[in-house]
Each structure stands twice: as C-alpha cells, then as structure tokens.
Chains A and B, each alone.
Chain A
Amino acid sequence: MLAKRIIPCLDVRDGQVVKGVQFRNHEIVGDIVPLAQGYAAAGADELVFYDITASSDERVVDKSWVSRVAEVINIPFAVAGGIKSVAAARDILAMGADKISINTPALRDPDLINTLVDEFGQQCIVIGIDSFYNQQSGDYEVHQFTGDEARSGKTNWQTSDWVQEVIRRGAGEIVLNCMNQDGVRRGYDIEQLKNVRKQCTVPLIASGGAGSMEHFYEVFSQAQVDGALAASVFHKAVIQIPQLKDYLRAQGISIRP
C-alpha cells in the first residue's frame, strides 16, 4: 500500500533555513545541508525547500545548495521559489532536485505550468497554492507573493477554480497551504482539505497548521491527503519524526518504516 508521506519543509532565505509565523518575522533555524541530512536520517519521506525570497525580489538566487543537498540525501526533494522559466527549472533539476514547485509565477503566467509539464514531464511539476479563508465573504482566496509582506495579496482566483485550472494544465501534485493556519500549530484546515481532495485527481499535500501528532492523524484519516508538510514542529523538535511515524502506524495509517 502506498505510504502517506511526512514532509518537513525548509524555508530558505539567503542560503539558510528560516521560519516565520504567518509568513512574517523570520528567524534563522540553521544550515541547509546538515538539517536536510538529519531529516532524511530520521525517516522523512521527502523534503521541500522553499526559497521564500526569490519570487518577490526579482533577482536570480544562488541555488548551488541544491546540488549540495542532492549529494548527501537519498530521499526525494522539491525546490520552490522564483522558478519562472524552462531554463531555471532545467538548472534546478540538473542539480539533482526531483521536483520543482511553482507558486506565484504560475499565477502570473499559467502557461508556464503546461510548458514545464511538456518539457520535463508531469511527475516533477508541483504547484503550490496559498489559500486564505476570508471569513467575511466565506471565500477561499488564492494569494500571491506571500514571501514578501509589501507585495503579498489576493488574486482573482478562488481556490477550487485554481486547483481545477492547474490540474487541467497537467500539474503532477498540489501543495495546499492553508494560510490562516500557517505557523500557529492549531491543526491542518481539515474542512478545506477535504473539499479540495474531492476534486483533486493528482496527489495532494496538506500544509499549514501542524502542532501535534494528532493533527497528522486527523489530516490523513479525515482529509485523505497523500502527504503532510510541516516546518516549525520539526525544526523546534516539538515532534520527532520516528515517534510520529510509530504513532501513525499504531493508528492504522500506512507509513513507511
């Protein structure tokens, strides 16, 4: 049986791993390579590296760390952040990344999704979606430039429409980041994830809100997501991956030993 994936997310800024609360006030967690190695050894099923400054700064970011990570770890990993072209994607994949994840650039130019899928295949194109629940309107809004306080804001897309659009264009996987929950450790947005799961024919990864082992159990058992992504609970050692996996297995969730 296909195992549910536990995916530590490492937000990268200027070559170091950082963590903010609701995308703000970033603090340095540590160096990329030893953190990646540590997570792989602890049993992480996959890693995601988000270069959170790249999309918003309009600059070319030094990605040499991608090959340093690829050299040492033997689990798959995705790289996100500022990948706006076929050439940029090719560079990242050539350095040893297994997947690239596109967020704001896909919103700015949706054709980028199908262009990348045609060039590299569906399996390595992940679309990240930052979804915000607007309590006043009751809408789920897609946001962009979330790495940059000055430019971040909502788009005209409703989350479910954008999910359909990226699947139609060939996306191989979707990471749904529920912004209201991000960094606050009160649990994944089960209701939203359940709704997206129903219409999502590609693998779906939950992101935002993990605070306890029970939250992982909830999201796997109730929202049927394929993977659960988390950052601070792992970086701050609130949850240890081996214990988390033992716990989930004891609850009957399919987990890789």
Chain B
Amino acid sequence: MNVIEIKNLTKNYGKSRGIEDISFNVEDREVFGFIGPNGAGKSTTIRTLLGLIYPASGAATIFGKSCIDNPEIRKDIGYLPSEVFYYDKMRVIDLLKYSASFYNKDCTKRINELAEIMDLNLKKRIDDLSFGNKKKVGIVQGLLHEPKLIILDEPTSGLDPLMQQRFFELLVQENNKGATIFFSSHILSEVQKMCHRVAFIKEGKIIKLEKMSTLKESAYKKVKVEAKNHIEKDYFKMSGVNNLEVNGNIANFIFNGNINSVMKKITDLELYNVWVDDPDLEEIFLHYYAKED
C-alpha cells in the first residue's frame, strides 16, 4: 500500500524554480529520503503534497486522497517545516496545546514525554527561544498527535549532534510503531542511517530513486592519492572508478565497487599520502550525471 503517491507533479514559478513531472510513491511503514541541493524543489514538492500550494499539473495524494480536497486527512500527518515560525507571544505549552486542539484527542502525556526527550522548556515564550529550541518545538508539535505519516523538511538544521541523535532515535521508535516517514535533506549521510529508499532531486527533476541497500552495496568512496612519482594517466582506469582526474603525481576519483581491488592498486604505488572519504552529495550527483550522458 502506498501512503504517498505523486504522479507527474509539476509546478512552475516563472522560469527557474519549481518542479517538473515528478513521480514516486512512498510505501506504508517506509522511511523515505528525499535528497537534493538547496533550491532543487524539495520544499515545493512537500508543500504541494500538504496542500499549501497548488500544482500546475499532476497529482499528489496521501492515503489515496488529496490534501486540498480533503483537509481532514492532515490529522494523520505530522509536519516539521525546514524553518519553524510560531506565534511569538505564546508560551511553548500554549502553542502545543493549541496545536493539539486540532486533533480531538488528549495529547498532554505525549507532549510531556516529547518535551523531556528533546529537553525543551515548556514555560518559555516562543520569542525567547533560540533557533535550535524553536526547532525542538517544531519536532514536539509535529509528533504530539502520534501521526501515521511524518513529513520532515530539513529536520536536523539547527539541532546540536546530541539532539539530532535523540531525534533520530525518536523517529526510529515512531517508525517501529508503524509510522511512515518522509524526509528531505541535502546531506546524504544524515539520511543514510535510517532510510529504506532515497530519491535524488536536482533542478526540479528526480534523477535517481534507489534502495538504500543498493546504495550501500555500491558504497561510494572519494579517493585522493599523492604518489612519490608521476602517475600514469591510465593507471586507475578500471571498473568502478569515476570522475578520474590525474594531475602529475596526484590522482582524484570516486570509487564504487569492491574496495579491495582499488586498495591493491594503490598499495602498488610509492605514496606520500592517501585520503579516503565519503563523497558529498554533489559528487554523487556528478557521478549520476556522468552515467546518464
């Protein structure tokens, strides 16, 4: 069963921004990552899904219904926007109670639990909170009604590493309880830890949709080698090596495959230094583009 279905969704803002012909599904109980650089159309997709903006063409449904025609389906959705803004003059607890009042159930217990986990002071006024603390209010606000679908737009920005970890633990718990999670990020490593599938979006188009298990098998490594002597241009030409650049005694490339084969190749050289890193998203994108060409 699909919780989210997006079919040929298109939304234009003038010429540059927007999304074009986006289609994908998110299955029940799945953790789905939506990855792309800033301005790629992640938020636009999410906002269309939630009924905040209207698509130019195509359709986005949740539990088989559109948020625009059936606003009541939002009672099963928890949404955390990328930048959180709340009524400044309210106290945290009053805002959370106001939020809870939309769901026709007593959420007091859950509010207190979540506030404790996220270490959030409920007595403070919203405008006295730092960015990170506002984000925590957003997290509690998005989860207090125990939604079946959790939609998160860049959820970890502003959170310190400890809170990020607690937040991810919280999400794993919710997922184990049966919640479907859809979240966007521009950091692949953030998503890697918990996603089942990821979709990559760039310039308003989905360029790749892959199972996390497949992505992990083809673990991409960014390799830089500095040898004592000049490296032959073709020395690293082998299967799994992409974006190869050789410059004198320095070689850069992205490797994808059995790591042993390339390590043997490297150890055959007389080395000054070697760096093996996880590539950032941009480099994986470049790799995808190279493949398509």
Q: Do A and B bind each other?
A: no
Residues of A in contact with B (beta carbons under 8 Å apart): none
